[in-house]
């Protein structure tokens, strides 16, 4: 093969490989704001339902006052992160859900008594359907709020050892109660954190990042 054609062929193959790598990267790169289209809607955010203690080797849950206190601290961290992005003012946060329940205990859903246990399973994934009692509970919840269709569920928080550090991870879901279907199920994680407060703040930021930039 003449030297010119040999160089031209090598250049073509290198360019093709580069294009191929770029295409693959664009296909696999995660979206920075996968739920940005929901940011301008009204969304209900329920309280954190569960805190797993078994993996908490640092004893952070106990130091924060136990499972319930830790869950409420995470709720506050999530609310602060959403407020920083201007979302909390439009969305329906846990305190508003509590007030709705206190006004009408015979009808309104208790936000601290949702049937979320099946959603903790690894088998519950994006696109999964959920049944009773959760489907009725969430339909009642959105019926009391104008222009709400989606519900963001912080399902389970855990702390886990990673190398020499500890990080927090939150299993969460974005669901459509009218269809009784999960639009998204996944985890948000903090980096290794020096304190529990830092870990919870990072989880709040990561969850809010899915919807809007800081």
Predicted TM-score of the model (pTM)? 0.84
Higher-pLDDT residue of 21 and 212 is: 212
How distant, in Å, are the alpha carbons of 14, 56, 191 from that of 63? 57, 11, 20
pLDDT, one tens digit per residue, over 140-152 is 999 999 999 999 9
pLDDT, one tens digit per residue, over 89-98 is 999 999 999 9
Which of 131, 133, 170 minimizes the C-alpha distance to 152? 170
Q: Is the peptide bond before 133 cis (omega within 30 degrees of 0)?
A: yes
Say whether pLDDT at 26 is over 50.
no
User: Which pLDDT score is estimated for 54?
Assistant: 84
Q: Is the peptide bond before 99 cis (omega within 30 degrees of 0)?
A: no
Contact criterion met (CB below 8 Å) for 75 and 203: no
Say whether pLDDT at 57 is over 90.
no
Pairing of strands 50-52, 42-45: unpaired
Higher-pLDDT residue of 81 and 1 is: 81
């Amino acid at each position: 093969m003449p030297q010119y054609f040999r160089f031209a062929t090598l250049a073509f193959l290198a360019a093709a490989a580069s294009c191929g790598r770029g295409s693959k990267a664009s296909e696999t790169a995660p979206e920075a704001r996968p739920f940005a289209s929901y940011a301008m809607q009204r969304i209900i955010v329920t309280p954190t339902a569960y805190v797993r203690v078994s993996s908490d080797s640092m004893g952070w849950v106990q130091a924060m006052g136990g499972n319930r206190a830790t869950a409420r601290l995470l709720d506050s961290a999530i609310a602060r992160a959403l407020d920083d992005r201007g979302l909390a003012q439009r969305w329906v946060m846990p305190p508003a859900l509590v007030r709705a329940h206190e006004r009408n205990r015979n009808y309104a859903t208790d936000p601290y008594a949702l049937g979320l246990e099946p959603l903790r399973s690894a088998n519950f994934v994006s696109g999964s359907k959920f049944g009773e009692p959760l489907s009725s509970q969430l339909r009642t919840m959105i019926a009391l709020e104008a222009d709400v269709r989606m519900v963001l569920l912080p399902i389970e928080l855990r702390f886990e050892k990673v190398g020499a550090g500890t990080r927090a991870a939150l299993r969460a879901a974005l669901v459509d109660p009218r269809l009784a279907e999960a639009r998204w199920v996944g985890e948000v994680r903090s980096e290794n954190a020096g304190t529990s407060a830092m870990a919870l703040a990072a989880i709040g930021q990561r969850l809010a990042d899915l919807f809007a930039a800081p």
